[in-house]
Structure 1
Amino acid sequence: MIQEFRDFIAKGNVIDLAVGIIIGAAFTAIVNSLVADIINPIIALFTGGVDFSGWFYALDGSEYASLQAATDAGAPVFAIGKFVMAIINFFIVAFVVFMLVKAVNRAKKAAIKERKEGQPAETTPAGPSELDVLLEIRDALKKT
């Protein structure tokens, strides 16, 4: 069982997945900063300073000055603004990942093209063809 586990961990796909998860976790901080520090101010500029993260509805029917005040009071709330920001964050992450994959694919294609251009044309090796070898085998079998 330990050997199977060792074989499983040593597979390239598992290592690639682990690296992807670690990089994704680190990338989350960058995306969160992009959303909070760049995208949200732009959205606020176009919506007249509306901050989505402050949108909430208190389920107990009371009025609260802010989402923080409602949660501090222990009121059950629908944090609509946080949900909207999570959706916006998702689309930003999806777009950034799309652009990243597109750039990587473009770089791979360019590298493959460059590699192919740098290699000499493939030549067939000198020697008997497959048909010649089969004919020799047939003739040898006839002799026996």
Structure 2
Amino acid sequence: MNLPHLHSPAVLDEFKKFILKGNVVSLSTGVIIGSAFNNIVTAFTKGIVEPILAIFGGSNLGTSNWKFQIWEKMTKVTEKVNGTEVTTEKMVPVLLDVGAIVGAVIGFLITAAIVFFIIVKPTNKLLDLVITKDTPPAAMPPDVALLTEIRDMMKRQEEAAGRPTA
């Protein structure tokens, strides 16, 4: 089997084209920006959104007011009592943590809104302005161009004959 050398100019050119493609750059930019927004969104959710939601349901999203028991199971628990380990069986609740889910959904919506309104929307607007200014109008297909020329010629003939045009 004959494999190309990794340091050959053709392979390096192909790799360069791959790296410089717009979607690769956009994806990497999105990952970097997303990770940078993570701390901001977490702080906003914990510092502002959770206290507002706590008005309606308790002290914070992570408290027991936002957790619901869905099951109980028997579990062995090891505890230290007077320096010795004692293993006992206890009924332990299995909890559904709605607060964590609500917090994650709110964090996602905040991140999506920030990315959309601060990055995507302005970029699309800028691209629309650049594309409309720099892009020449699309050339008409030959049959449409011919029909347009015939129509214009007929209008000129009617105007020259003194007939009103529609």
Structure 1 length-normalised TM: 0.53
2:121 pairs with 1:102: yes
Out of 51, 62, 82, the residue aligned to residue 53 of structure 1 is 62
Equivalent residue for 1:43?
53
Alpha-carbon distance change, 75 to 43 in structure 1, aligned in 2, over 3 angstroms: closer
Q: Which runs of 5+ in 1 are unaligned?
A: 63-72, 117-144
Larger radius of gyration: 2
Alpha-carbon distance change, 15 to 97 in structure 1, aligned in 2, over 3 angstroms: closer
Structure 1's consecutive aligned runs of 4 or more residues displaced over 3 angstroms after TM superposition are 4-7, 73-76, 103-106, 109-112
Per-residue displacement from partner, 1:43-62 (whole Å, max 9, x unpaired)? Answer: 324x2644222222342269
2:17 pairs with 1:17: no
Shift of 1:9: 2.4
Q: Which amino acid aligns with 1:20?
A: G
Q: Which amino acid aligns with 1:60?
A: E
Residues in 1 aligned to 2:93 and 2:127: alpha-carbon distance in whole angstroms: 55
CA-atom RMSD in angstroms: 3.6
Alpha-carbon distance change, 15 to 98 in structure 1, aligned in 2, over 3 angstroms: closer
Higher-helix-fraction structure: 1
Alpha-carbon distance change, 9 to 34 in structure 1, aligned in 2, over 3 angstroms: same
Residues in 1 aligned to 2:127 and 2:67: alpha-carbon distance in whole angstroms: 48
Shift of 1:81: 1.3
SS of residue in 1 equivalent to 2:62: helix
Equivalent residue for 1:31?
41
Question: What is the count of residue pairs matched by the alignment?
Answer: 104
Alpha-carbon distance change, 48 to 13 in structure 1, aligned in 2, over 3 angstroms: closer
Residues in 1 aligned to 2:38 and 2:49: alpha-carbon distance in whole angstroms: 15
Residues in 2 aligned to 1:48 and 1:75: alpha-carbon distance in whole angstroms: 21
Identical-residue share of aligned pairs (%): 37
Q: Which amino acid aligns with 1:86?
A: A
2:18 pairs with 1:8: yes
Higher-strand-fraction structure: 2
